[in-house]
Amino acid sequence: MKGIIAVTGASGSIYARLAVEELLKDSRLEELALIVSDNGQKVCRYEGVDILSHTDPRLRYYHCGDLFSPPASGSARYDFMAVVPCSMGTAGRIAGGISDNLITRAADVMLKEQRKLCLVVRETPLSLIHLRNLAALAEAGTMILPACPSFYSRPADIESLCLTVVHRMADYFTGDSGSFRWGLSDPLC
């Protein structure tokens, strides 16, 4: 299994770090391409998140401007891609078919190859333009996953709270991330 994580300049770089870490736990993962936009790098630094220091040999870093790298081509046959966090600007460019960098080109490839694409969007409130772009992406087969954490599992800290979103993304790609599941012993059942 091969995947791509793309990081844009939206706030919430902790989601990107956790996504990389969670996906690398899966022994079926052969390769994980990591693409970080220039603004994504700035936000990571500002938010104190180090995403570029992982040393796992399955992790491959690609510059956002490198349109000759494998994620830019359907022949590379990546199985899934997540844009996490995904800015509304990036979502709009993907919805409009504008492949002006490696992130938007790789997403375009995932759509044309009918492979799994997930956008972990980080914006609020959403304008009508945002909603129309997201609707167009959903109609094209994209999973739209707002970075809205859940509280059912009673997360003890911010990282655990953010994992509730990351686990939903990982479940979509790999089947089961070990995330919280309702059961008969839960107090509301």
- From first to last of its 189 residues, the chain has per-residue pLDDT tens of 999 999 999 999 999 999 999 999 999 999 999 999 999 999 999 999 999 888 999 999 999 999 999 999 999 999 999 999 999 999 999 999 999 999 999 999 999 999 999 999 999 999 999 999 999 999 999 999 999 999 988 999 999 999 999 999 999 998 875 665 555 555 555
Burial class of residue 41 in the structure, from the number of CB atoms within 10 Å of its CB (0-12 exposed, 13-18 middle, 19+ buried): middle
Report yes or no: 40 and 71 within 8 Å, Cβ to Cβ.
no
φ, ψ for residue 32, nearest 5 deg: -130, 110
Tokens standing for residue 122: 């980080």
- In angstroms, rounded to a whole number, what is the distance separating the alpha carbons of residues 177 and 169? 9
- In angstroms, rounded to a whole number, what is the distance separating the alpha carbons of residues 60 and 71? 11
pLDDT at 175: 83
Tokens standing for residue 14: 């902790």
pLDDT at 188: 57
- In angstroms, rounded to a whole number, what is the distance separating the alpha carbons of residues 53 and 66? 20
Report, in angstroms and rounded to the nearest whole number, the Rg of the chain calculated over CA atoms. 16
Burial class of residue 21 in the structure, from the number of CB atoms within 10 Å of its CB (0-12 exposed, 13-18 middle, 19+ buried): middle
- In angstroms, rounded to a whole number, what is the distance separating the alpha carbons of residues 84 and 120? 5
pLDDT at 52: 87
